Amino acid sequence: MYYLVNHHNFFPPIANDQYYCGLGYSAVVLSLEDDPVLIAPLGYQKEKVASLKYAKTGPNLVNDLIEVLEKLKLDKDNLGIVGTDIVPYAYYMKLKKFLPQANFIPADDIIQNQRLIKDTDEVKILKKAAQIAERCMDATLKYIRPGLEEWEIAAFITKLGLGEGVEHVARIRVHSGPLAGSLRWPMLSKRIINEGELITIDFIGWYQSYAFDILGTTIAGKDKNNQDELVTLSKKITAKACQKIKPGIKVSELASSLLNIEKSTGKKISFFGHGIGIEVVEKPILRPQSDFKLQPGMVLCIEPSLEIRKGEKICFEEEVLVTTKGYEKLTDLTKI
């Protein structure tokens, strides 16, 4: 949706009734012979939308989608669905009921694979977004001190981001103490931070419609638990993974480059990363066993984690551009 026409929905998904259906969702219909059609319940900002001559707005997304498909005489064709991971079951079943001769085919890869490589203008915005996120993260890591509550840290970095022109902060995860490196709900709480505890901050949002996603770890106050060396080691792990990036390298080779650190330290390292663009997580998904080869123009988030104790991890996440000669770090949280 965003890549095709730059439309952002105004609403979160809400409950449906006979009149309202699909608020929080939108659709774009692409055909070989006609202009794209945006279906956006309850309106859109015309001046923000690109590559679009026509939009249909109303309170019922599915009814409008059926009407458009019938008008374009696509109701008996093969229809590729992009976004199969988020299309609600009720909407899909209604489409099948009222368009019984249409053949719906998963087609996510058509768009996702086209978005692997970012063009020059996109890279400029992604760089700017990453730089803003890094400044906010650096300032927040310096702000942290014993006695603060997790929510105060989240409020601090949110205020910094919005002041820098960030359009939307999608997620801030602030975890402290024994659960600093865990995935925990809620993502932040009123927990008071104690002297010497680890603090993890995951900062995600959008600037000029392009995403940023970085993660940093620090120690509150004095290092009472001898964890500073582990924080430094985590920085070195992420930095080393970034340094191996070049065109043609397999993702599995990036992960393997960290094995020597595992052997020398006895600490388990979990390798992970992903592409980023208008969406926070895009292809490629960087998994340890993947034979996917990196290409110039990809913008990646690199985030290996270091297990310090069972269930406890430290992580730094950097954003990196794959270049024709190697790589360019868009953020530098791992400087020592």
Per-residue pLDDT tens over the stretch 57-80: 999 999 999 999 999 999 999 999
Residue 62 confidence (pLDDT): 94
- What residue type is 258 in one-letter code? L
Q: Which CATH superfamily is domain 120-329 in?
A: Creatinase/methionine aminopeptidase superfamily (3.90.230.10)
Domain with CATH 3.40.350.10 in the chain: 2-114
223 near 179, Cβ under 8 Å? no
Name the percent of the chain in helix, strand, coil, to the closest 5: 30, 25, 45
d(CA 68, CA 74): 9
Residue 53 confidence (pLDDT): 87
Residue 99 confidence (pLDDT): 96
Cα-flanking dihedrals φ and ψ of residue 308, to 5°?
-95, -30
Mean model confidence pLDDT for the chain: 94
Of 298, 293, 250, whose CA–CA distance to 112 is shortest?
Answer: 298
Query: Does the structure show a pLDDT above 90 at 47?
Result: no
* pLDDT, mean of residues 89-97: 93
Domain with CATH 3.90.230.10 in the chain: 120-329
Q: Band of the pLDDT at 18, cuts 50, 70, 90?
A: confident
Residue 144 confidence (pLDDT): 98
CA dist 83 to 17, 75, 80, 107, Å? 23, 19, 10, 8
Reply yes or no on domain 2-114 having CATH 3.40.50.720. Answer: no
d(CA 255, CA 332): 20
Q: What percent of the chain has pLDDT over 70?
A: 100
Q: Is 252 helix (H, G, I), strand (E, B) or coil?
A: helix
Query: Does the structure show a pLDDT above 90 at 260?
Result: yes
Residue 13 confidence (pLDDT): 83
Query: Does the structure show a pLDDT above 80 at 312?
Result: yes
Give the tokens for residue 78. Answer: 């093969």
Residue 4 confidence (pLDDT): 84
